[in-house]
């Protein structure tokens, strides 16, 4: 009986602790705490619900990613009334890129709330950013878009998110594309060639193709390899963000590549086994 009472006391203590931790971060109390608990469960924990199904924060992460992009787009559109589409897209990309969300998550202390199993520092390098996206998904499901917008603007008012600084910061689009590919477990490479610019034959010119899973998704031209690759990567990220069918096609290519790799790995073993049987 004492053990049962202790378990109940421990459960309510943990629940109350999460409520107060979230209140400090969010600025409001959650209505449905279950959304937020799920937002901090990483897939490495292998948590299961009462039906035995594996549960983690990946679906909330997916939803939160879309909510963040909508909010940032809304804020930037209203803040920079005379800015061109290219500037808005680039600034948004800087604010929502994985490294920015990772830093924001650490500042908010979300890393202390995430449940995960540490077995590779590289594998867990994006846990914080993923948790922030999942948190935004939880807020949206719990209290709607307006509250999600209110929370994001609160972070801006507190100095955690600074669009003006991001707008002036030079972005490494190659790193952004590489981060995205690493997260999706996809292979990428740049194919750069030197070409002759007919308008200025004396200056070297470079043309780059950005390939993800051996599919060309971006092209760039510049007076240096770096410049052409940056432009190709920038075009790639713009396309990936707004072309869900392309992302699905790349995922199919990835699965096909893995299936072929598994087959090629298995074939020598099968061949050796067959030879041994023949002997």
Cβ-Cβ contacts under 8 Å for 62 (sequence gap 6 or more): 133, 137
Helix (H, G, I), strand (E, B) or coil at 208: strand
Active site residue 65: yes
Q: Is 213 left (phi over 0), alpha (psi -120 to 50) or beta?
A: left
Question: What whole-number distance in Å separates Cα of residue 259 and Cα of residue 226?
Answer: 34
Question: What whole-number distance in Å separates Cα of residue 152 and Cα of residue 75?
Answer: 10
The residue among 22, 48, 220, 6 whose CA lies nearest residue 110 is: 22
In the chain, count H helices and then E strands: 11, 5
Cβ-Cβ contacts under 8 Å for 22 (sequence gap 6 or more): 29, 30, 36
Q: At what angle do helices 127-143 and 98-108 cross, to 10 degrees?
A: 70
The DSSP bridge partners found for residue 12 are none
- Catalytic pick from 16, 17, 49, 65? 65
Q: Give me the residue label for tokens 């719990």.
A: 142
Active site residue 133: yes
Question: What whole-number distance in Å separates Cα of residue 151 and Cα of residue 176?
Answer: 25
Alpha helices by DSSP H, listed for 58-168, are 58-79, 85-96, 98-108, 127-143, 145-157, 163-168
- Catalytic pick from 16, 69, 133, 194? 133
DSSP type of residue 171: P
What are the distances in angstroms from CA 67 to CA 70, 82, 98, 152? 5, 24, 15, 10
Active site members: 65, 133
């Amino acid at each position: 009986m004492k053990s049962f009472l202790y378990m109940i006391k421990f459960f309510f203590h943990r629940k109350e602790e999460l409520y107060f931790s979230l209140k400090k971060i969010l600025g409001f109390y959650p209505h449905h705490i279950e959304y937020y608990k799920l937002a901090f469960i990483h897939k490495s924990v292998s948590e299961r619900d009462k039906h035995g199904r594996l549960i983690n924060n990946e679906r909330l992460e997916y939803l939160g990613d879309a909510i963040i992009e909508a909010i940032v787009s809304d804020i930037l559109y209203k803040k920079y009334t005379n800015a061109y589409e290219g500037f808005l897209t680039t600034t948004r990309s800087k604010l929502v890129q994985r490294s920015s969300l990772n830093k924001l998550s650490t500042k908010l202390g979300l890393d202390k709330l995430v449940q995960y199993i540490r077995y590779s520092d590289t594998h867990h390098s994006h846990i914080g950013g993923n948790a922030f996206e999942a948190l935004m998904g939880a807020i949206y499901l719990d209290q709607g878009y307006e509250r999600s917008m209110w929370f994001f603007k609160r972070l801006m008012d507190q100095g955690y998110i600074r669009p003006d600084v991001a707008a002036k910061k030079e972005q490494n689009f190659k790193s952004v594309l590489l981060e995205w590919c690493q997260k999706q477990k996809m292979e990428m490479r740049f194919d750069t060639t030197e070409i002759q610019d007919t308008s200025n034959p004396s200056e070297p010119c470079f043309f780059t193709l950005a390939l993800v899973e051996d599919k060309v998704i971006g092209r760039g031209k510049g007076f240096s390899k770096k410049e052409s690759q940056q432009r190709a990567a920038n075009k790639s990220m713009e396309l990936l963000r707004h072309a869900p069918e392309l992302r699905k096609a790349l995922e199919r290519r990835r699965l096909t590549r893995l299936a072929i790799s598994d087959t090629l790995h298995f074939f020598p073993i099968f061949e050796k086994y067959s030879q041994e049987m023949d002997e």
